[in-house]
Homo-oligomer: A and B are copies of this chain.
Amino acid sequence: MSNPTLHDVAQAAGVSYATADRVINNRGNVAQKSIDKVREAVTRLDYVRNVAAANLSRKRVYRIAFLIPKGTNAFFNRIRDHITQVAAHLSAESVSVDIYEVSAFSVEGLSDSIADFRQKDFDGVAIVGLQSNVIEEPLADLRARGIKVIGLVSDLPRDFREAYIGIDNVVAGRTAARMTGMAHAGGRGAIQTFVGSLDARDHAERLEGFREVIAADFPKLTVLDPILTKDDPSILQAETDRLLAQQTDVTALYNVGAGNSGLISAISAKPAQRPYCVVHELVAHSRQALIAGQIDLVIDQRPDVEINRAFAVLRALIDQRETPAMPELTPTIYVRDNLPADPLNEPMKDQNT
């Protein structure tokens, strides 16, 4: 009926409870012969340790930290909010969550923050990463202490983390391109792209994916060289203004990076005959612009899904379990019709009615 206990396993293996316990907890001082007997009994009886009982016994608390870029970036605010929400519920399952902020895009700052974790005694850390070998050493140090590290949203050097939770940005760019291409219905066109910085790996990857698809499947479209924006709304606004004023043959805009509020305000100033507009990340202003018909498409990476996944993966890593089946992460396409409920305006609606 109910699951076998370690007592059952010990009995089946013909050893004492103590020995079985020594085996499954790797306490050492046990003969290979006994190890084999216990292992065999475990698989035969299909024993799985009762995590609830185990955690209860050892008063285990999962200490999990998130390391997230500082600042008022709407996207990371959304991430923070969701972490906080999930954490509130997870405290009942004895996982404690801390969020640390680190100055954005600074390798040194990130490196220092990671190094700080050495003292802090966490079980697992999710880090919005950067690609730089400067951070490899502190990461290796965390691993040496048994702290599980995963990359979130933006990956870490892959040999220095257990997993990456985030979308594939090449795929995101390809998706944007597919949609933009389709929206031309076989006609000709030119697409103006914007990037924050080509040094930012995610931006470069998106652009790369975008170009791939347009080149392969939409030969009548041209991808114009990207305008550099530093993710600064005012630059985006100015550049978009200029573009709309000079009556070009641009048929679509694709902003690879952030700073959408600038783009949006430029567009809403001249609503007539605007080009097809695709941006990334669903936040308050992109959502609002979608509803108002100022932009056409938002490619979103579903930070809520990412956070849930991050927690699940970290807990599995800490417990040395397999990761449970979870929704996959895929760039999500939003138009004005399939927007999720706005959590700020309709908190906790939860489909119950």
Please give the residue numbers on chain A whose beta carbons come within 8 Å of chain B beta carbons, in ascending order.
2-3, 48, 50-53, 55-56, 59, 61, 82, 85-86, 89-94, 158, 162-166, 171-172, 174-175, 177-179, 182-185, 187, 209, 213, 276, 296, 302, 304-305, 308, 321-341, 350-353
Given contacts A182-B296, A325-B304, A336-B178, contact A56 B50 (CB under 8 A): yes
A314 to chain B, nearest CB (A): 13
Pick from B55, B185, B341: contact of A183, CB under 8 Å: B185
Known A-B contacts A86-B324, A327-B304; A337 and B213 likewise in contact (beta carbons under 8 Å): yes
B59 touching A352, Cβ below 8 Å: no
Q: Find the B residue at minimum CB distance from A52.
A: B52
Chain B residue contacts of A334, Cβ below 8 A: 330
Using Cβ atoms and an 8 Å threshold, which residues of chain B touch A166? 351
Among A50, A171, A331, the most chain B Cβ lie within 10 Å of the Cβ of A50
CA–CA, A334 and B330, complex, Å: 9
Residues of B within 8 A of A185 (CB): 183-185, 187
Whether B53 pairs with A56 at a CB distance below 8 angstroms is yes
Instruction: Please give me the residue from chain B that is nearest to A304 by CB atom.
Output: B327
Contact between B322 and A305, CB atoms less than 8 A apart: no
Cβ-defined contact, A339 with B335, below 8 A: no
- Asked if B332 and A332 make an inter-chain contact with CB atoms under 8 angstroms apart, the answer reads yes
Given known contacts A325-B85, A333-B338, A351 and B52 CB-to-CB distance under 8 angstroms? no
Residues of B near A53 (CB, < 8 A) are 52, 56
Q: Report the Cα distance A270→B276, complex, angstroms.
A: 31
Contact A337:B304 (CB < 8 A) given known A52-B55, A325-B82: no
